[in-house]
Chains A and B, each alone.
Chain A
Amino acid sequence: MAAPGALRRQRGRGRAALPASPARRGRGRAAPGAMAAYLTHQQKVLRLYKKSLRHLESWCIHRDKYRYFAVLLRDRFDKNKDLKDMVKATELLKAGEEEFWASQHPQPYIFPDSPGGTSYERYELYKIPEWSLDFWHPSEKAMYPDYFAKREQWKKLQRESWEREIKQLQEETPADGPRTEALPPARKEGHLPPMWWHHVTRPREQPM
């Protein structure tokens, strides 16, 4: 039911196997650990394993029972881990996915902050953008004098570095669009990373 080499750590790297990206630099090149367009067989098997463990957790409420069946499940995956024939491995994966579909839990456990959870997006309405600070009344701004004193300098810095950030992004993105959502770091001395203002002024996850 498992794939070859899926659960075995690859030598030389600290994490699971990655799609082999051609050696290119910058935003067009997928950095180690980035997402590529297609999933490898190992990634698919690992996703199936994690899904089935989570649904097993939804079925087996008590931890000792869950641990028993989780060990049995791991053994089922481990039995086929040295399979070299890709055709057979794909067939096993397909059978595994079908078995998962048939025995999934109708109300799987979803973490509260995950999509579909009970407190997902709950505080979205309190996340207002930072430019609303410019519209505060002077009496309100006087309550935080040190912040607003430095704020103008920060805004000036952002205006100055914007052109350089955009230039860096335009140079590094390949012609048919970016390969990954990850933003590159600053390349030159004295430059700031692209879109740093967007990251620094992001709203907090939960209101105070």
Chain B
Amino acid sequence: MDLLLVLNLTALLTLATLSTPIIFPLLSENLKNTPTTITNTVKTSFLISLIPMTIYIYSGTESLISLWEWKFIMNFKIPISLKMDLYSLTFFPIALFVSWSILQFATWYMASDPYITKFFTYLLFFLIAMLILIVANNLFVLFIGWEGVGIMSFLLISWWHGRAEANTAALQAVLYNRVGDVGLILCMAWLASTMNTWEIQQLSSPSQTPMLPLLGLILAAAGKSAQFGLHPWLPAAMEGPTPVSALLHSSTMVVAGIFLLIRTHPLFNNNQTALTLCLCLGAISTLFAATCALTQNDIKKIIAFSTSSQLGLMMVTIGLNLPQLAFLHISTHAFFKAMLFLCSGSIIHSLNGEQDIRKMGGLQKMLPTTTSCLTIGNLALMGTPFLAGFYSKDQIIESLSTSYLNSWALVLTLLATSFTAVYTIRMTVLVQSGFTRIPPLAPINENNPAVTSPITRLAMGSIVAGFLITSFILPPKTPPMTMPLSIKITALTVTALGIILALELSKVAQTLILTKQTPLSNFSTSLGYFNPLMHRFNTTQSLKGGQNIASHLIDLSWYKLLGPEGLANLQTLAAKTMTTFHSGLIKAYLGSFALSILIILISTH
């Protein structure tokens, strides 16, 4: 049996199965979509995608499919080529598993929505664009997927477009992603002009790659993966419904930037400056996001900042020149982050739309399955040994501690790890434990299997995914094996310190001391003052500058000063100088005659 043929066929069949709910309604009037059919399609797609993954794991078969070539100029090839390697074949089943669970959850969450089928179709479009991005072998196909996920993100965040904040958030997402796209297009242009190719295979250069394309790629990743500087859109994107937050803004879309850096990793290999830039940018992002998450009171915003922090950690891993470890973290993170969002969605719907953790409490007895899975997800997020997050997070911190790179980045990352523990425990304590503060008459129930089975399925994934992936897929180079015990348990120690700190703070919160605003807490609450500073300052300066150019430069300068008014000024200047000579005295005029006769006599001699 030709394994390569089966691999190619099943991989293409996965993509084809996903596009059937889009194509079939166009072919016939009778074939209408329903949310259930779309969920079942994604489930079938997931089961099919397990086949190529199994083939890859057991035989190491990779493949490259070239479908069609856009012969648009003679000397530049743009093939539509797809690469089935470790990254795409492993991420396909993970993304499809997570999407299947989220779509099943969304059949309950969005049940009261009149346009639920349109919602599911949007999610399906997003999924297809994401998978195109994952499986792309050249930057052209990747760009198609990149823009596709950006557009679907816009449409899905502004799903309830009657809300002003949802529209603002969607615009924010599009604009920040656009800033990142500038970097990607810059890199594509440089590659097209210098290396005459957009294929990932042909990207490695023997000597040091110049900084320009790498800066472009880092900008693209910063825009899409919400690194510091281009991060505000991710917390704002929580305006969308919870299934959107779970699918796009935690597991799949936001990792597209990191995935781009993983794919174009050969370019980064030999440029240490770019790697250090990634490292520092990731370290700042992870600490900043973790700081902001400490004082948030909206459960979705806490999880959004947690996502932003983990994305910073992935960027740190890229900066350590370990793309496969970053991919491992992407895979394990997808499971527990999606589950955290689904649990929060279940809690929100049960409390009739309440998202503030100050009005939740004691839900452990009322929503046992949801809160148990929330606990499992939080433990996995913190890197509890032998859950999913441990395998990737612990390895990242070990590699960071034992590398001879920036120790400032290490300190920031460790601080962010302890903050992760702090806000996670805070969220757990306020949501699940203690006496309840929920409004009465809340429709709390977990009776619907459409709620409990996705969450429990993802919980199983959060527990075993890390173990399974690391058992079957070996790292390309040996990770550091020997280190002092104190370095080995660094991650565990800082997490434990964070847990202890959080428990002490929650005890303090119950004593009769009235808290006040402090500068640090204000910094954290107002998200580092970044949003008003950037959004107001940049826009007012640009608009004022534009107004000045339009009115002063064009109207005043070009049309007036260099045209009629300027000429008139010059002429009045000349006229004013001349009038001083018109004194009316005959002697002056006789003198001027004499002067001119003298000049003529001298010049003709």
Contacts and interface: CB of A to CB of B under 8 A. Distances in A.
Q: Do A and B bind each other?
A: yes
A59 B298 CA distance: 14
B522 interface: yes
A106 B522 contact: yes
Contact of B162 (A68, A109, A124): A124
Contacts of A59: 514-515
Nearest to A126: B114
Contacts of B113: 207
A119 B435 contact: no
Contact of B160 (A61, A106, A112, A125): A125
B509 interface: yes
Contacts of B521: 106
A109 B356 contact: yes
A121 B164 contact: yes
A113 B351 CA distance: 13
Contacts of B512: 65, 68-69
A120 interface: yes
A113 B163 CA distance: 12
Q: Which of A118, A124, A125, A207 has the most CB of B within 10 A?
A: A118
B354 A106 contact: no
Contacts, number: 71
A206 B112 contact: yes
A187 to B, nearest CB: 37
Contacts of B358: 57-58, 61, 109
Nearest to A61: B358
B350 interface: no
Interface in B112-167: 112-114, 160-164
Contacts of B298: 118
B163 A207 contact: no
Interface string B199-236: 00000000000000000000000000000000000000
B8 interface: no
B554 to A, nearest CB: 41
Contacts of B372: none
Contact of A107 (B297, B510, B511): B297
A122 interface: yes
A61 B430 contact: yes
A48 interface: no
Interface residues of A, number: 29
Contacts of B430: 61
Contact of B353 (A109, A119, A127, A207): A119
Interface of A, secondary structure class, is loop
B178 to A, nearest CB: 25
Interface string B529-567: 000000000000000000000000000000000000000
B434 A62 contact: yes
Interface in A10-32: none
B457 to A, nearest CB: 27
A113 to B, nearest CB: 8
A107 B359 contact: no
A68 B516 CA distance: 16
A123 interface: yes
A123 B515 contact: no
A119 B437 CA distance: 20
A63 interface: yes
A94 B535 CA distance: 34
B163 A121 contact: yes
A103 interface: yes
Nearest to B522: A106
B355 interface: yes
Contact of B517 (A69, A103, A119, A120): A103
A76 to B, nearest CB: 13
A192 interface: no
Select the residue from B355, B514, B515 with max chain A CB neighbours within 10 A: B514
Contacts of B514: 59-60, 69
Contacts of A118: 298, 353, 355
Among all A-B residue pairs, the 4 with the closest Cβ atoms: A124-B162, A125-B162, A106-B525, A112-B353
Interface of A: 57-63, 65, 68-69, 103, 106-107, 109, 112-113, 118-127, 206-208
Given A109-B356, A118-B355, A124-B162, 15 more contacts: A58-B358, A59-B514, A60-B514, A61-B437, A109-B358, A112-B354, A113-B353, A118-B298, A122-B160, A124-B160, A125-B161, A127-B162, A207-B113, A208-B112, A208-B114
20 contacts: A57-B358, A59-B514, A59-B515, A61-B437, A62-B435, A63-B435, A65-B509, A65-B511, A69-B514, A106-B517, A106-B521, A107-B525, A112-B352, A112-B353, A118-B298, A120-B163, A121-B164, A122-B162, A124-B160, A126-B114
